[in-house]
Structure formats: C-alpha cells, structure tokens
Structure 1
Amino acid sequence: MTTPLITYQLDGNIALIGLNRPDKRNAINDPLVDELRAAVLRAHEEADVAVLYGQGSNFCAGLDLAEALARATGQIKAPRKRRRHNWHEVFDLIARGPIPFVAALHGAVVGGGLELAMAAHVRVADETVVCGLPEGQRGIFVGGGGTVRIQRVVGTTVMMDMMLTGRLLDAAESEREHIVRYVVPAGQALDKARAIAERIGKNSLETNWMIINVLPRVQDLSHDDGLFLEQLNSARARPPEAEARLREFVDGKAKKLQENQA
C-alpha cells in the first residue's frame, strides 16, 4: 500500500492536514499538491476550521528540486495548453475558501513551504523554525504566490533581501516581520495551533467566512471602495445565531475576553 503524501484527520470540527514526505523534508511535488487539494476540499465540506502541519522534523522545505530539474530538462512534458499554476489554485483554496486555516510551523519553512504557510490565516511557529526564500540561489523565482502573499505581509524590501541573500530568519525574526503571530517552545506548535483552531471554531461560520474573504479583498481596494465593501457585509441580514450571541453579551452572560484567551 502506498504511503499517503497527505494525512487527514477530523477531530470534532477541526480538520488536521499533515504534509507527509518527512524523508524529503516534506518537499512539494505534483502528487503532493494533488493530495493536498483533495484534503482541503474535504475539510471545506466537513470541518469548520483546519490545521496545517508537517510530519517529521520540518514543516516544508519547498519545491521538490528533482521534479523541477526534470521539468526544466524536458523529462516532464509541459501541458499542451497553459493552465493556472496548480500551486496557485490549491493555495487559494486554503487562503480564500470557506474555513480558516491555522499553520503549525517547525524546522524548515522555506521557498514553496513559506508560500504554503502564508496561505494560512494564522501561523504558529516553534523555536526551531527557519524561514527563507532561497530561489535566487537556485536560479529560479518564487512560483507559489509569494510575490503576492509574502510581499504584502513583510513588504518589498524585506522580501528582496530574503531572496537576494538567501538568508534564513529564525523564529524571533519571523515574528518581527509578521510572518508568524505566535512563537512557542520546540515541539509545541501543533498543540498551540489546535488550541487556536478550537477558539476560531467557536465563531459563527458566517463571521469566519467574512473575516478570511472580505479582509484580503478590501486590501486590494481604494479607501472608498473598501468602506463600501465593509458596509455591504456589515449590513447583511444576520443569522439567528448572531442575535443570540449579541443578546448573550448584552445580558452579561458572555465570558470576559481575558477568560477566553487561546
């Protein structure tokens, strides 16, 4: 029986999706992308939030360079027609789908691995994390959406430095550049990510959908158009659940914020 390249587990309303090529540092090849697509679509249907992580000692070391070399030398035949990049398609299913994703990062998070991590909505790193973009030293360019997602988070000058020099950012530097939001001791990233996912999963599905789909689109708009889109969404008819949550707060039954921290 062939070992799956992606593991999948449903824990309550949380889907746990694991990259499973530990002997290759979870490097991304086309078969892995295909299995990741299937897992993400499954999570869309049966989970309210998902956690993305890597099996073994690393989250993901990026593009499978052996596959890239085979493609560059014609050993892998190019498709007859241009299509959307499969990484772009699958990473967008994560970034702009119906449910939030939390990424648990450890070890190498480089190249395509960093691009994949940036598709998640919340990123947790343990102290072993190193983030980098070594494409410049490999004679290639980012291809998994990094020019959009990474650049919008860290800025052009930081991304240029990372690509031109190939230097790696440790966990503290990654937090400073807003690549990650939480840093925990070694080995604790997955537990922290699950705790955050549990908290996110208590939100209404509609609110989570608006947070992960409206915010990035507003970023693309002018000031006036952004405010208009915000108004359209805030003025939408609220489901009965929203009324119950508001009434709970007004009646003093909601937990205090400091008692509900992830």
Structure 2
Amino acid sequence: MSDPVLTIEARGEIAVLTMNRPDKRNAMCDALLQAIDAFFVNPPAEVKAVVLTGSGGHFCSGLDLSEHVARDAEGTMRHSRSWHAVMDRIQFGGLPVVSALSGAVIGGGLELASATHVRLAEPSTIFQLPEGRRGIFVGGGASVRVGRILGADRMIEMMLTGRRYSAEEGLALGLTHYAVGEGEALEQALDLAAKIASNAPLSNYIMIQALSRIEDMSKADGLFTESLCAALTQTSPDAIEGLAAFLEKRAPKFGGAA
C-alpha cells in the first residue's frame, strides 16, 4: 500500500496533520484536499488545536498541475468553490490551526496557509502566487485572504510579476507571524499550539469565529458584535475560573467545551 497523502498524529490535545507528497513538494491533489477536509469536518473530540505542516522540507507547492483535469467554466467554478469550502472549514471550524512552514508555500499552498490562524516560517520558506505567469487566476481564496494581508496593490504586483517573498519578507508583510530557525518550525508550532490549547475553549472559539467576520462589518455592527462576544465569554464558568486563578496567582483550570 502507498503511504497516505495526509498523516494524522495525536499528541495529547494537539493533532499534527502532515501533508505527505514529498516527491511533489506536497502539491495539492483532490485526494489530499479531501483528506484535510475530512479531518476538519469531524475532528476528534479531544483535539483542542491543530498543527498543519508538510513533509520533505516543503509545506505545499500549490495545485498539482500534473493531475490537472480540463473543465468547462461551470466545472472550474465548482472546483474553486470546493476549495473555498475546505478553507472555510479550516478557518471557521472552531479549532485553532498553527501552520509550520518551510520550502514552497506557493499558489494554493499560500491559500491554505492563509486559512490557518498562526503561521511560523523557516528561512527556506518561499511565498509566491505564480498564477499570472501561467495565464490563470487564483481560485482557492487568495483574493480574499492573501489580499487582506497584503492589500490589493501589493497582491496585484505579486501576481503580475510572479515575485517570491522570503520568510523575513513574509514576516514583515504579515504572510507569517513568526520567523524561526531552520528545522525549528514544527517544534515551535507544537509549543504555540499547546499554549493555545490551554486557553478557555469558548474564548478560542469566539476569537476564531468573530474577528474575521467583524472585519467585514460596518463599525457599528462590529462594535455590537464585540459586545455580544464579550457577554458570552465573560459570563462563562471559564471566565470566572480565569479571574480566580489570576487573583490567586495560579494557572487556570478550564473545563468548558466549545
């Protein structure tokens, strides 16, 4: 039997998802996308955070063009929308997702990374949107997620020229949140995931669900939504425990479930 395209390892409350197509620089095929989707549709109940990474020194080099299927306009639109559905499940599924980046984070790989909540990049990391050089357009959510990180002006330049950004440049632009040493991304991602998993589940869930949506709202609607989120979290049993732990100078023991 061939190796699975996605390996899933349980490390206590953290699930490590590793894209496993090293000979393809973990290029995205339908089987890999479906495997990622299947995890986020029905994650194990004990998992409180996820680390997403790739094997063989690369995160994901984008769509596997060797498996390209000719589609008409409707088929292409529906395929793009299937990508959107998976990326939405990653971003809004309720589990904090930390991505450990190295090597290629290109095209669909950057779309995948931008759907995660915390991103760490090793020095080998290359960020690129080469679609313009191939006569196509992004279809996995980059125009929204990457566009909001970079701004339309810089994303247009990035796509027109096929420009590559390094890990340090990506850090300055917000494509990644942490620049780490070579070979350090996975362990540091696990450390951050453990820290995040120790938060109150409800507040993690609300942060994931609310903040990106508030960005889409008017100022007045965003402020009202903020008040609703504050009311939900600050009256929860975990909020009471968090305040007590602070006053008693001890670590909180959260027991809520998102």
Do the structures match in fold with TM over 0.5?
Answer: yes
Conserved 8 A contact 1:44-1:97: no
Is the aligned partner of 1:227 residue 2:223? yes
Does the residue aligned with 2:232 lie in a helix, a strand or coil? coil
Task: Write the letter of the residue equivalent to 2:247.
Answer: V
| Structure 2: distance between partners of 1:130 and 1:37 | 25
Does the residue aligned with 1:219 lie in a helix, a strand or coil? helix
Conserved 8 A contact 2:80-2:140: no
Name structure 2 gaps, 5 residues minimum.
Answer: 253-258
Could you list the per-position Cα deviations for residues 34-57 of structure 1 after superposition, in whole angstroms to 9, with x for gaps in the alignment? 111112234364310000000112
Is the aligned partner of 1:249 residue 2:246? yes
Identity of aligned residues (%): 43
Counterpart position of 1:63: 63
Structure 1 residue 241: deviation in Å?
2.2
| Structure 2: distance between partners of 1:57 and 1:165 | 25
Matches within 5 A, 1:1-262: 1-43=1-43, 45-68=45-68, 70-72=69-71, 82=78, 85-236=81-232, 238-254=235-251
| Structure 2: distance between partners of 1:95 and 1:44 | 17
Does the residue aligned with 1:71 lie in a helix, a strand or coil? coil
Counterpart position of 1:259: none
Could you list the per-position Cα deviations for residues 185-224 of structure 1 after superposition, in whole angstroms to 9, with x for gaps in the alignment? 1111111111100100000110000111100010000110
Structure 1 residue 83: deviation in Å?
7.1
Conserved 8 A contact 1:33-1:86: no
Structure 1 residue 87: deviation in Å?
1.1
Could you list the per-position Cα deviations for residues 68-125 of structure 1 after superposition, in whole angstroms to 9, with x for gaps in the alignment? 3x325x8xxx76x957722111111110111110000000101000000000000000
| Structure 2: distance between partners of 1:134 and 1:242 | 46
Structure 1 residue 251: deviation in Å?
3.0
Name structure 1 gaps, 5 residues minimum.
Answer: 256-262
Task: Write the letter of the residue equivalent to 1:33.
Answer: L
Conserved 8 A contact 1:111-1:132: yes
| Structure 1: distance between partners of 2:81 and 2:238 | 39
Task: Identify if the C-alpha distance between structure 1 residues 254 and 9 changes in structure 2 by more than 3 Å, giving closer, same or farther.
Answer: closer
In the superposition, the TM-score normalised over structure 1's length comes to 0.90
Structure 1 residue 253: deviation in Å?
3.2
Conserved 8 A contact 1:43-1:50: no
| Structure 2: distance between partners of 1:93 and 1:236 | 23
Conserved 8 A contact 1:44-1:99: no
Does the residue aligned with 1:43 lie in a helix, a strand or coil? coil
Task: Write the letter of the residue equivalent to 1:55.
Answer: S
| Structure 2: distance between partners of 1:84 and 1:60 | 17
